[in-house]
Amino acid sequence: MSDLPEEFAIIATHFAPLSGEGALNLSDDAAIFTPPKDRELVISADAIVETIHFLPIDPPDLVARKLLRVNLSDLAAMGATPHAYLLTLSVPRTTPKTWFAAFAAGLAADQKTYNIHLLGGDTSSTPGPISLSATIIGHVAPGTALRRTGAQPGDSLWVTGTIGDAALGLLALQGKIPDPTSHLSARYQLPIPRLGLALYGIVHACMDVSDGLLQDAAHLARAANLTAEIEAAKIPLSPAARAADNLQLCLTGGDDYELLFAVPPASEPALLAACAAATIPVTRIGRFLPGPAQLRVLDAQGTPQPQSAQGWSHF
């Protein structure tokens, strides 16, 4: 369905060089993909929309990389090895060639970083904001994909990296808060998928934090039919996030793309070793307890915080 001016030239110039094995140079109706032998495939699709998930001022190469990384984070959450991706772009007819060149350069950079290639996709026009979608394909040894279900009473709750930087980064890019080191805006524009951890047999459950730590921790609790308890004071914050002094936003804002784990006590040394080997910081922030499927947040004094319909109202 060609409706974009010079669609075929755009594909040949900017996207065909990104294609790899099975993509047939993006010149056929579909890709042919021979699955790696004796592996299960892990597949996910995420869309990002201009003004909703990225800003019109965001550089196109960072938008491309964010699109890939948001999808790669889903593979990280399953413990999968990335392999390839498909892409659909809906962009205004007036989009300049320089946009496509920069966007493709971003894809190229992250293809190299994550050892993936383009398998196929579609480019069309839209009268609205830029709408992008990617489907990412990875693989695992059969039966070893990490799952959201499976946390047990007595497991501790761990999170990688720091929380809240991206949500604060959006405010910084909107000029609402200072960001002297650009740390916050960088975390918003360029998430870091936590790939490369070998956690099968170590964690009971895993997911990525994309919708806000509290909401996602509540998902883990519901998936296990347990109560999850988080100690707010233990949540890892970057120096820039501490300076911003907005814990409420950090815990609910989303776009972190960190990983959240349920870990049995006996496996904690193995978790620490695996994270150290991958140079990924990890912090114990809570635990799973028998009880109703819910999330409980404790303040620095150990007092449970009330949850309103709108979320946690104060820390």
Residue among 63 and 75 whose Cβ is closer to its own copies: 75
87 lies in the site for its own copies, by CB under 8 A: yes
Dig out the tokens for 170 from the structure.
């959006």
* Span of 97-105, 142-150, 262-270, 304-312 interacting with its own copies by CB under 8 A: 142-150
Query: Looking only at residues 264 through 303 of this chain, which bind its own copies when binding is defined by CB under 8 A?
Result: none
32 lies in the site for its own copies, by CB under 8 A: yes
In DSSP terms, 160 is beta-bridged to 282
Residue with tokens 């060609």: 2
34 lies in the site for its own copies, by CB under 8 A: yes
120 lies in the site for its own copies, by CB under 8 A: yes
128 lies in the site for its own copies, by CB under 8 A: yes
| Number of residues assigned to the chain | 315
Shortest distance (Å) from residue 148 CB to its own copies: 5
Distance from C-alpha of 224 to C-alpha of 152, rounded to nearest angstrom: 7
Selected from 63, 64, 68, 70, the binder of its own copies by CB under 8 A is 70
Distance from C-alpha of 5 to C-alpha of 217, rounded to nearest angstrom: 45
Q: CA-CA-CA-CA torsion for 96, 88, 209, 72, nearest 10 degrees?
A: -100
Shortest distance (Å) from residue 73 CB to its own copies: 8
29 lies in the site for its own copies, by CB under 8 A: yes
Sign of the CA dihedral 18, 20, 22, 27? positive
218 lies in the site for its own copies, by CB under 8 A: no
Strands (E) in 101-255, as ranges, are 117-125, 131-140, 156-160, 205-209, 227-231
Residue among 94 and 303 whose Cβ is closer to its own copies: 94
CA triple 283-234-220, angle to 5 deg: 65
CB atoms within 10 A of CB 77: 27
Selected from 16, 53, 101, 270, the binder of its own copies by CB under 8 A is 53
Selected from 86, 250, 285, 295, the binder of its own copies by CB under 8 A is 86
Selected from 11, 31, 213, 249, the binder of its own copies by CB under 8 A is 31
108 lies in the site for its own copies, by CB under 8 A: no
Distance from C-alpha of 110 to C-alpha of 40, rounded to nearest angstrom: 23
Shortest distance (Å) from residue 210 CB to its own copies: 5
Distance from C-alpha of 195 to C-alpha of 250, rounded to nearest angstrom: 22
294 closest CA partner among 268, 312, 269, 313: 312
Contacts to its own copies by CB under 8 A? 1-3, 24, 27-35, 40-49, 51-53, 70, 73-75, 77-78, 80, 86-90, 119-122, 124-129, 131, 133, 135-138, 140, 142, 145, 147-149, 207-208, 210-211, 215, 223, 254-255
